[in-house]
Structure formats: C-alpha cells, structure tokens
C-alpha cells in the first residue's frame, strides 16, 4: 500500500475545507440521540428556536492558514463555537451540538449535515453571560 505525501494530503484537505461555509447549531431532541445518518430536515426540526436567550447559528470557514502539516497528515487549527445567553427571559435548552455545511448555488441555499454530537445530558443557559463553548478540531492522516 502506498502512502500519500503530506503535500497530497494537504491538497485533499484544502479541496474538502476551503471556500466552504460551516454553521454550528444547538439542538434539543429531548434526550434522544440522533444517529450518524440524521438528515438536515430532522436536525433542523429540533434546533433551538432562533432568538431564545439570544440563540443564533454560528458560522465559520477555513482558510489555507488554518491547515497545518504534521508527520503523515494535516490538522486544522482549533475553531471555537461559543453560544452566549443574552439575559432575556427565554433559556437556551439543548442536548446536541451539530455542524452543517451551508451551500449556496444560484442564490438557492441548502444544507448538508457534517456532524451531530449528543451531549448525554440536557444543558440550559438561562442567565445573561452564561456560555456554552465547543471546540472544533480536524485531523486528516494516512492510514
């Protein structure tokens, strides 16, 4: 089996990551874990209501400087999704964290699920300034 060079892995990672927009979502599925094949429609139906506690989706992209070479692969620089309660009366109640890709073609927006992570507990942000922070890392390597 031939191994790819770090340069080739970098090219693949750039093709996968660059010029793409990702969004982070909080979901409340009442403690029932989504499986790996969850559709965008099924997770969007369980997204925390926009505006509850100041909730809104968080968006991020990757640039070429976010991709770092390592021996036999690459890693992406850490991204952080920080959701902060705005002090309003509605809490942010969630039990999953999700990442979707936002795709816009000819002014039509669609979404593709990248990852859905159940938390194993139901969390609640209810006081102004309370925050939930999620760390996003990527690693691509030769196997």
Task: Please indicate, yes or no, if residue 63 is contained in any of the structural domains.
Answer: yes
* Residue 23 falls inside a structural domain: yes
A 10 A CB-CB count for 18 gives 13
| Rounded (10°) CA dihedral 3, 115, 57, 78 | -40
Tens digits of per-residue pLDDT, 85-136?
Answer: 999 999 999 999 999 999 999 999 999 999 999 999 999 999 999 999 999 9
Is position 17 within any domain? yes
In a domain, 127, yes or no: yes
The pTM score is 0.86
92 lies in some domain: yes
**What span, in angstroms and rounded, lies between the C-alpha atoms of 1 and 13?**
21
Which domain range does residue 28 map to? 6-141
User: Is 42 domain-assigned?
Assistant: yes
- Asked if 77 and 136 count as a contact pair (C-beta separation under 8 A), the reply is no
Q: ∠27-30-33 over CA atoms, to 5°?
A: 70
pLDDT of residue 41: 96
Q: What is the pLDDT of residue 74?
A: 73
22 contacts 67 by C-beta, under 8 angstroms: no
pLDDT in tens, 32-88: 998 778 999 999 999 999 999 999 999 999 888 888 877 667 788 899 999 999 999
User: 143 pLDDT band (50/70/90 cuts)?
Assistant: very low
In a domain, 115, yes or no: yes
Tell me if 1 is assigned to some domain. no
The number of distinct structural domains making up the chain is 1
16: Cβ contacts below 8 Å, ≥ 6 apart: 140
């Amino acid at each position: 089996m031939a191994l790819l060079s770090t340069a080739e892995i970098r090219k693949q990672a750039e093709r996968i990551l660059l010029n793409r927009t990702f969004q982070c979502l909080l979901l409340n599925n009442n403690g029932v874990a989504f499986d790996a094949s969850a559709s965008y429609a099924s997770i969007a139906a369980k997204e925390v209501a926009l505006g509850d506690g100041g909730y809104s989706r968080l968006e991020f992209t990757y640039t070429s400087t976010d991709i770092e070479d390592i021996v036999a692969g690459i890693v992406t620089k850490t991204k952080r999704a920080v959701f902060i309660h705005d002090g309003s009366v509605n809490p942010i109640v969630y039990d999953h964290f999700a990442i979707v890709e936002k795709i816009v073609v000819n002014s039509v927006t669609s979404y593709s699920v990248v990852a859905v992570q159940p938390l194993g507990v139901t969390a609640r942000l209810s006081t102004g300034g309370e925050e939930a922070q999620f760390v996003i890392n990527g690693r691509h390597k030769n196997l």
